[in-house]
Amino acid sequence: MSKDMLMWDETIFRNPEILELDHVPEYFAHRDSQLQSLKFTLRPAARGMRPLNCLISGPPGTGKTTAIKKVFAELQEHVKNVVFVKVNCQIDSTRFAVMAKIYENLLKVSPPSSGVSFGKVFQKVVNHLIASDKILVVALDDINYLFHEGHADEVMYSLLRAHEQYTGARIGVIAIVSDTGAMYKFDPRVGSVFLPEEIAFPRYEYGELQDIINNRVYHAFFPHVVPSEVQEKIVEYTDLTGDLRIGIDLLKRAGLNAERKASRTVSIEDVEKAYEASRLLHLCRSIVSLNEHEKTLLRLIAQGKDPQTGELYKEFHEITQLGYTRFYELVQKLNALQYIDADFSGKGMRGRTRIIKTRYNPADILHCLEK
Ligand SMILES: Nc1ncnc2c1ncn2[C@@H]1O[C@H](COP(=O)(O)OP(=O)(O)O)[C@@H](O)[C@H]1O
Ligand SMILES: [Mg+2]
């Protein structure tokens, strides 16, 4: 056996847990101003005041969730009169589930699962806060997943108006929006009470990705396992989407690919193979955030339904009952979100697009739509 081969009980990973996506990294660079702003909005809570509300936005994989986790953990050490609760709205995706999560965090038991309304659970949350003289800070992470059927508006409205309804209630709200291109506006009722400090998490620049990935490689693998040109390849792939999650997932999968071959080093091919799996991760995650009508339209386009013969609109209309104006708006939206390329140059009737193609491999889109 060559010395380049791993023995069965050997590994190239020094600390594999560092490549898990829920790992909170010790090295969290290039986000100092965002961390400062976030702490600034929460500072009033330490003095017993209602904190400022906050709207955090940015593309996926730019450190939004990590920043919240870091700041909550740090502040919780110092302030005892404040309860910090982070709700993952992708998991708790209804108004009731969100409020139940907050209730659980505060009262350390779950609310009854049936026979109680959202309003009742909310009232108990507020009563508990007032009775225990505590301030609540709620981070609604990936609130996009609550945008359907007014769930987000109702949760926000209740939390933001609590102090008007119940004297002494002190609640601050941090809404975290992962913008995949789709814009969402809160109901005007919410807008008039939200008035948030806005904190943007822009895409990382190439050099920043290089730095962060370099640090991850150093901690996750033994020395000399990831050659510099291989690491550079991973940075390049990560930069295509700007999503650091892709980079970290690539490191893990490429490492596993190398180990499968009992290799002591990760090769470019290991990365290429891993990328096939990782890039779908990104596409699928953004497709999940589309609504049902948008998904239906995207599916028909990926299936190759022809816009020119009217086949595309006809089938869309049969499934959704929506008219041409709405159809045309959704085509424009999918175009703006860069799922499709639509050529609007066709003469004649408004919106008679001649060519509509998916920007991704149609099979990949259909794969994600099936999940
Ligand atoms: N500045 C950073 N330094 C180190 N790791 C980071 C940084 N920003 C993000 N990450 C890592 O990238 C992944 C995605 O970050 P996350 O906070 O979940 O992004 P978001 O919530 O914006 O989608 C996580 O595994 C996180 O550890
Ligand atoms: Mg997140």
CATH of the domain at 155: 3.40.50.300
Q: How confident is the model at residue 198 (pLDDT cuts 50, 70, 90)?
A: very high
Q: State which of 141, 167, 200 marks the end of a domain.
A: 200
| 38 occurs within a structural domain | yes
- Is a pLDDT exceeding 80 seen at residue 289? no
Query: What pLDDT does residue 147 have?
Result: 80
| 222 occurs within a structural domain | yes
| 132 occurs within a structural domain | yes
Instruction: Say whether both 92 and 135 belong to one domain.
Output: yes
The closest residue, in CA terms, to atom 8 on ligand 1 is 63
- Is a pLDDT exceeding 70 seen at residue 344? no
Instruction: Say whether both 48 and 169 belong to one domain.
Output: yes
More confidently predicted of 306 and 218: 218
The closest residue, in CA terms, to atom 13 on ligand 1 is 245
Closest CA to 60 of 284, 215, 257: 284
Atom of ligand 1 nearest to the CA of 68: 17
| 21 occurs within a structural domain | no
Q: Best of 66, 211, 288 to mutate for ligand 1, by most ligand atoms within 8 A of CB?
A: 66
Instruction: Say whether both 55 and 185 belong to one domain.
Output: yes
CB distance 297 to 330 below 8 Å: yes
| 15 occurs within a structural domain | no
- Is a pLDDT exceeding 70 seen at residue 322? yes
- Is a pLDDT exceeding 90 seen at residue 291? no
Atom of ligand 1 nearest to the CA of 201: 22
| 6 occurs within a structural domain | no
| 14 occurs within a structural domain | no
Point out the ligand nearest to the CA of residue 60.
1
Closest CA to 202 of 33, 22, 26: 33
pLDDT tens readout for residues 243-265: 999 999 999 999 999 999 999 99
Q: How confident is the model at residue 348 (pLDDT cuts 50, 70, 90)?
A: very low
Nearby residues of 123 by Cβ (< 8 Å), 6 or more positions away: none
Burial 184-218 (b: 16+ CB within 10 A, else e): eebeeebeebbebeebebebbeeebbbbbbbbbbe
Q: State which of 200, 221, 249 marks the end of a domain.
A: 200
Q: What does the radius of gyration of the chain's CA atoms come to, in whole angstroms?
A: 24
How is residue 211 written in tokens? Answer: 């730095």
Closest CA to 150 of 201, 185, 124, 202: 185
**Average pLDDT of the segment spanning 77-94:** 92
- Is a pLDDT exceeding 80 seen at residue 350? no
How is residue 60 written in tokens? Answer: 């996926």
Instruction: Say whether both 193 and 267 belong to one domain.
Output: no
Q: What domain range is 334 assigned to?
A: 290-370
Ligand 1 proximal residues by C-beta, below 6 Å = 21, 23, 25, 27-31, 58, 60-66, 178, 201, 212, 244-245, 248
Q: Is 346 annotated as a binding residue?
A: no
Atom of ligand 1 nearest to the CA of 208: 1
Provide the CATH number for the domain around residue 340: 1.10.10.10
Q: How far apart are CA 336 and CA 352, in angstroms?
A: 17
Instruction: Say whether both 180 and 225 belong to one domain.
Output: no
Instruction: Say whether both 38 and 149 belong to one domain.
Output: yes
Instruction: Say whether both 279 and 331 belong to one domain.
Output: no
Query: What pLDDT does residue 353 have?
Result: 60
Provide the CATH number for the domain around residue 224: 1.10.8.60
Q: Is 62 annotated as a binding residue?
A: yes
Q: How confident is the model at residue 180 (pLDDT cuts 50, 70, 90)?
A: low
- Is a pLDDT exceeding 90 seen at residue 307? no
Atom of ligand 1 nearest to the CA of 66: 17
| 228 occurs within a structural domain | yes
Structural domains counted in the chain: 3
Instruction: Say whether both 282 and 294 belong to one domain.
Output: no
**Average pLDDT of the segment spanning 129-137:** 96
How is residue 318 written in tokens? Answer: 């049969």
CB distance 106 to 83 below 8 Å: yes
Closest CA to 186 of 134, 230, 147: 147
Which residues surround the ion ligand 2 when the cut-off is CB under 5 Å?
A: 64-65
Q: State which of 174, 200, 226 marks the end of a domain.
A: 200
Q: What share of the chain has pLDDT > 70, as a percent? A: 95
Point out the ligand nearest to the CA of residue 143.
2
Name which of 100-104, 136-140, 280-284, 320-324 the model is least confident about: 280-284
Instruction: Say whether both 36 and 156 belong to one domain.
Output: yes
Instruction: Say whether both 232 and 248 belong to one domain.
Output: yes
Instruction: Say whether both 185 and 223 belong to one domain.
Output: no
Give the chain as a 3 state SS string. Answer: CCCCECCCCCCCECCHHHHCCCCCCCCCCCCHHHHHHHHHHHHHHHCCCCCCCEEEEECCCCCHHHHHHHHHHHHHHHCCCEEEEEEECCCCCCHHHHHHHHHHHHHCCCCCCCCCCHHHHHHHHHHHHHHHCCEEEEEEECHHHHCHHHHHHHHHHHHHHHHHHCCCCCEEEEEEEECCCCCCCCCHHHHHHHCCEEEECCCCCHHHHHHHHHHHHHHHECCCCCCHHHHHHHHHHHHHHCCHHHHHHHHHHHHHHHHHCCECCCCHHHHHHHHHHHHHHHHHHHHHCCCHHHHHHHHHHHCCCCCCCCHHHHHHHHHHCCCHHHHHHHHHHHHHCCCEEEECCCCCCCCCCCEEEECCCHHHHHHHHHC
Instruction: Say whether both 193 and 333 belong to one domain.
Output: no
